[in-house]
Amino acid sequence: MRRNSTHTHSHSRMYERALFALCLLTLVLFQSAASCELRPVLAQVPKRLPAGYVISEVTLKGCVAKPVAFTSSDPDFTVNTDGTIITVRGLEITTKRFSVLVQDENRSDWRVDIILSCKDELSQKSSSAAHKRTKRRWRPLPFSVVENDSPPFPKELEMIASDSSVNYTVYYQISGQGVTTDPVGLFILNKNNGMLSVTRAVDREQYPQFNFIARVYDVSGRETDAFLPITVNVEDKNDNAPEFIGGRFFTVEERCRAGTVIGQVNATDKDQAKTAHTLIKFTLHNATDMFSIDPFTGIITAKTNTLDREAQDKVYAEIEIRDMGGAPNGLFSRGTVVITLTDVNDNPPTFKEKLYKAKVQENQENVLVTRIQVEDKDLVNTPNWKALFEVTKGNESGNFRMETDPKTNEGLLYVIKGLDFEKTPLVKLEITARNEVPLVGPDTKWLSVPLELSVGDEDEGPEFNPGILYLKVKENVANGTVIGTYKALDPENKNSNGIKYYKMTDPGNWITVVENTGELKTANTIDRESPLVHKDMYNITIRAVDESKKTGKGMVIIQIEDVNDNMPVIPGTDLIMCSKDDTLSSVLVEAVDMDQRPYSTPFIFELGADQDGKWKLKDTTESSVVLEQAVAMPTGLYSVPLLVKDLQGFGKEQTVNVRVCTCEREENGVGICGARSASSSLGSLGILALVLSGLLLLLLSLLLIFICSTKRDKLYISDDTGTGGMLLKSNTEAPGEEVKDGALMMIPGAEVVDGSLQSGLMESKNVTSASGRYGQQFFQGGGVYNTTTQEFGTEKFYSSGRYDNNIYGNNTLQKLSNTSALDTWKTNGRYLDRKLAYFGDEEEGRYADDLLKTYGHEGMGSPAGSVGCCSILGEQESLDFLNTLGPKFKPLADVCYTTNRTGN
């Protein structure tokens, strides 16, 4: 029992809970229903309602949920999302009842009754004061007008109305684009009933849309509602045909592959975009075998790979553009597209003849033989058209050259090396013509043509065979030795009869050619070491002359074989050995031999038999040896005998002068000797040479005074030196006559440039004497000149001989001795003797008309004064002594001249 009681109690509790929840839900729904005020909409409207007329507005007052959707039960009316009721079409009513289904955001449905009643204008006016309404927004749907519509005009479009017209007597006004602004007066409005009309046709391409506003006023001129924005769309008509835009000229290479894009044709349509009115289709009406066009992109492509510029260089393709996607009723335009084919080298040059013939005389060179004409279908004056010619067969010897005439494009065949009729009377050639650029196309190739060239015969001179003769000869062979024979043949009869041979070039005059036989004999010693020999070869040229005086030329190359005719020589025999810190020093001795191996290196170096044991040799190489001190030696000059022999043992003993000195510094690791005094280095013989040189310079100064001349001006010697010296003799010398004014000597043909006399160098001789450095003298026509580059003991004398080529001119001073420096003085003495004899001559034009007189005693009052050397050289600040020779010169000339005639 208890158990059943418990079960009954639990069921009772569950029932109470469910009843409570149901009551709560009923209460909520009741409160919600009670909160929503669903009143019917009562509206008085005109009897005639235009489409888009705003009736009233549906609202749910007091509802928690917001309305989201409205549905009208009458198809003549629609409800906007904001609850505004609008007529769908124009209609006339007396009364109208329908309902609007409202759905809120909770998906609850509510129904609102709409009751419309028609009230006449008088009743509206009487009741307008009693039923005032607040302003509402009026939003009619956009109106539309068809462009370019046909008359009659004006045409009614739509009616606009404000719901304030229910309560007021109103009138309407419009303003804005198409009304009060451009285009003015296009739209008009019936101010009483709100009917909007268009007055004329309109072009959509010019005005696609109009925007203006409408306002509503009561009879007092007060706006009874907010202004209404009105939009009028101009509906498009397909009244514009497509038009071409952009360029219509394209280029493409001939023989391009199929599918090559050539270009794109562009078009436009003024009608409304993204409609069938602007959907353009492209159609190609000709040249369809060559090109194709995409119907909707206008891209032109090549349809074949055989486009040929030579057949047609420009293609005029007619293209149609039609709108409506190409439909028959679409509007269209047609235009021409020009496609230019550019040239490629697909045509080789072709010859006009199958065989060319020409003729040329033998031995002719650099002559034009013939012209070869070709044709090329490619574009003229382009690399595809310009021809290049080549002799591809028959020019193995390089006899021919081909060029191209730039104006006619003809091939010009030249002979650049003479042809030989006896060898080839008929030359067969093959000429190939090409272009400057490669050919295009698999089936094209360069063409060739044969050419026969006849060689004309003519009498030719003898020809040497071979053209260059090589002979091997040992140097130093005896004169008169026959080294070979070089003969020439007559090309016509192939023999050497009547041909004579002459030598053309032989720089060393080593070879003699036998005139009748062509034998080559040695005339002088052949020396391989001569500077005329290059790489052991010596060249001579021979001329052969036949009986008709025609000549031929040949060359003989003598390859000279070496013999051992030169011994090793030490070129630098004066060596310097620098000692440092009491260490034994050494110096490198090098030798040279003009011969080649095996007659030269490696050399054998040995100390001479007279060596004193102070030296030793080490570190011998092929051409050098190191000379080293065997014992320590003081500084000084030492002579060391060295025997140098070549590989064959041919050589001689040579003396090397080694100067031992003390190192003061090092440069690049090599010791450098210090400075030394001139007296210690020259020795007694050097000092004597210096004294003699000073005396010689004194004499030369005197001679310069006597014979200097500038620009043919006369030379005078002044007599007013003012010296007090006197020349004493056993007899007395009278003052003597005045020497005539004038130049002492005129040098015929001599010109003076910058104070120096010009003359030719005639002769030079070397005189070897004691070693050392002194100076160099040059005796030249017109003066004596000194330099400072001559080694002491080696003097060069030059005599140009420009004194009328008489007893003084063209003289060669002879060397007297090779051992004594005093011989130099004697040589100069002879020169001075001849000079004095020349001035003492009584020949007409000389300045010795006043003969020299000798007196027994020269007194104190002599007008000549002293003739001492010092008086002559004392006045160097004045050159007035040149104005006259004066009496001062005469005693000196008399003494010297008399001594010369009586002495030595």
Residue 752: band (very low, low, confident or very high) from pLDDT cuts 50, 70, 90: very low
pLDDT for the residue 849: 46
Least confident range from 33-42, 343-352, 485-494, 520-529: namely 33-42
Nearest residue to 136 (alpha-carbon basis) of 170, 91, 174, 113? 170
Last residue of a domain, one of 309, 342, 375: 342
pLDDT for the residue 893: 61
Share of the chain above pLDDT 90, in %: 37
Strands (E), 383-532: 387-393, 400-404, 411-415, 426-435, 447-456, 463-464, 468-474, 482-485, 488-489, 500-505, 511-513, 519-522
Query: Would the pLDDT of 558 be above 80?
Result: yes
Query: Would the pLDDT of 39 be above 50?
Result: yes
Nearest residue to 887 (alpha-carbon basis) of 861, 862, 855, 858? 862
For 50, the domain range is 36-118
Residue written as tokens 């005998």? Answer: 641
Do residue 167 and residue 70 come from a single domain?
Answer: no
pLDDT for the residue 463: 86
Is the pLDDT higher at 280 or at 47? Answer: 280
Least confident range from 210-214, 259-263, 788-792: namely 788-792
Q: What is the pLDDT of residues 586-628, one digit of tens each?
A: 889 999 988 888 888 898 998 888 878 888 888 889 889 998 8
CA–chain centroid gap for 791, Å, is 56
Query: Would the pLDDT of 15 be above 90?
Result: no
Query: Would the pLDDT of 745 be above 50?
Result: no
Residue 16: band (very low, low, confident or very high) from pLDDT cuts 50, 70, 90: low
The β-bridge partners of 868 are none
Do residue 845 and residue 897 come from a single domain?
Answer: yes
Do residue 722 and residue 763 come from a single domain?
Answer: yes
Q: Could you write out the DSSP letters of every residue in 784-840?
A: EEEES-PBTT-EE------STTSSSSS--PPP--SS-THHHHHHHHHHHHHHHHHHT
pLDDT for the residue 809: 36
Residue 54: inside a domain = yes
Do residue 853 and residue 815 come from a single domain?
Answer: yes
pLDDT for the residue 242: 96
Helix (H) or strand (E) holding 22: helix 2-35
Do residue 337 and residue 356 come from a single domain?
Answer: no
Do residue 769 and residue 893 come from a single domain?
Answer: yes
Contact predicate 800/764, CB 8 Å? no
Last residue of a domain, one of 511, 534, 561: 561
Residue 447: inside a domain = yes
Arithmetic mean of pLDDT, 769-785: 36
Residue 670: band (very low, low, confident or very high) from pLDDT cuts 50, 70, 90: low
Do residue 744 and residue 865 come from a single domain?
Answer: yes
Nearest residue to 145 (alpha-carbon basis) of 197, 110, 188? 197
Do residue 156 and residue 184 come from a single domain?
Answer: yes
Do residue 657 and residue 586 come from a single domain?
Answer: yes
Q: What is the CATH number of the domain that holds 618?
A: 2.60.40.60
Query: Would the pLDDT of 36 be above 70?
Result: no
pLDDT for the residue 453: 95
Do residue 718 and residue 858 come from a single domain?
Answer: yes
Arithmetic mean of pLDDT, 187-191: 94
Query: Would the pLDDT of 45 be above 70?
Result: yes
CB atoms near residue 423 (< 10 Å): 10
Q: 3-state SS of the chain: helix, strand, coil percent to 5?
A: 15, 35, 50
Least confident range from 3-17, 129-143, 504-518: namely 3-17
Least confident range from 212-216, 595-599, 608-612, 807-811: namely 807-811
Is the pLDDT higher at 170 or at 896? Answer: 170
Do residue 752 and residue 861 come from a single domain?
Answer: yes
> What is d(CA 317, CA 336) in angstroms, rounded to the nearest whole number?
6
Residue 125: inside a domain = no
CA–chain centroid gap for 100, Å, is 93
Q: What is the pLDDT of residues 105-157, one digit of tens each?
A: 777 788 888 888 876 543 444 344 333 343 344 556 678 899 999 999 999 98
Provide the domain count of the chain: 7
Do residue 433 and residue 483 come from a single domain?
Answer: no
Q: What is the pLDDT of residues 853-896, one digit of tens each?
A: 555 544 455 555 554 444 444 444 455 555 555 565 666 666 66
Arithmetic mean of pLDDT, 323-345: 95
Last residue of a domain, one of 171, 202, 235: 235
Query: Would the pLDDT of 334 be above 80?
Result: yes
Query: Would the pLDDT of 564 be above 90?
Result: no
